[in-house]
Amino acid sequence: MPATALDSLIFRDIFSTEAMRRVFSDEQRTAYYLEIEAALARVQGRLGIIPGEAAREIEAKCRIENIDLNKLKQQTERIGYPILGVVQQIVAICAKGLGEWCHWGATTQDITDTATVMQIRAALDLVEADMEKIAAALAGLARRYRLTPMAGRSNLQQAVPITFGFKAASLLAAFQRHRQRLAQLRPRVLVGEFAGAAGTLASLGADGLNVQAALMDELRLGQPEIAWHTVRDRIGEVACFLGLLTGTLGKIAMDVKLLMQTEVAEVFEPFAEGRGSSSTMPQKRNPISSLYIHATAALVRQHAAALLEAAVADHERSTGPWEIEWIALPEIFLLAAGALAQTRIMVEGLEVDVARMRENLDMTHGTIVSEAVMMGLGPYLGRQRAHDLVYDICREVALTGVPLIDLLARNPEISRHLGRAELERMVDPANYLGLAGDMVDRVLASERKDRG
């Protein structure tokens, strides 16, 4: 009976995705166990460590259809770990006692950790695919709205004009950094484990490192320089990466939520019939994806903390911290997948109201460009005098509603230096965008370079 939002028939495709659930399913995890056991037998048979006949028989039997998952559940509850149950089931169906060579020289954690790394590899491929789709959508927004003025905001107040393309490009730049992080962490993280009871490979003697190298080659994983049974920085690094990535997703969701407010109404999540409707207020169009992104991203950060806690392990084989990973690692990926999926839906269909952006720029009657006016008057009046004068005029605008341009043009101290036409150019938000367009271009150039 499903009991959480991640396995609920109703909620599971809101908070996660089918593809990510498949990676961390009982069936796929057990299939990875079997893939490792088959590869181990194949390698050891080739190296003459176990009989070739046994290697072939074990490899042939290491198929998920040969595992009774209900029986494995019972075995795991009795033993405490699933690996021995898997091995026992394989041994039982191998011919002529050949199965006794299965799992030769390995320990439970070797198989478990290596399967976990294989899950991480598959999960990161899914994460990367969604990252690229989101980056492409952000690049499209940055390109299309490169010079579209909007209000930049500081402390939730209008600050100075920016462009919507600038906002999109700043988020795209974060995705470019996440892409770099992912490429850098893969060689460190995608490393298997095969080290025996306490990590020394004593059970295989001089053959241990040869078996380890060949096994990792078969599984397309990196070979560890030394056992990492209780040194868990690899798992912690993945967790921190997902925390950073979903933090950026949360930032996107936060801005979209705020920009969707009735009083702002500059962008909207994609429209679909009934989406975001209220049971009591028919006029409402609530943010939906943004809410789910916010919730999942927050939980990813909590799970990242749990996976860092799992790094504090005792001696060479731990008594409990390891099991934290069994719970938190699948959930952090499932939640991250949900956040990525919702973000992709949102940015690929984002609705942008350019006219409303301009209306909001004008709602302060020109004071959003008070910095531009101050800097423009500085060479004539001195910076401090320009600041004080513009401050007083802005206060008058706020009190009276008279447009800034009118008060500037009628001020004798200003009008002796600048005419109305010059002042109108000065107070046009489209003329105070700084180097926003150039910065957008730099990010888009990096994106083209990253994509080859």
The residues carrying an active-site annotation are: 278, 317
Phi-psi domain of 193 (left: phi exceeds 0; alpha: psi -120 through 50; beta: other): beta
Distance, CA of 67 to CA of 55 (rounded, Å)? 18
Distance, CA of 284 to CA of 265 (rounded, Å)? 12
Residue 275 has phi, psi (to 5 degrees) of -70, 130
Distance, CA of 141 to CA of 349 (rounded, Å)? 10
379-387: long-range pairs with CB below 8 Å, 24+: 380/417, 380/418, 381/413, 381/414, 381/417
Structure tokens at 94: 């191998």
Distance, CA of 247 to CA of 433 (rounded, Å)? 27
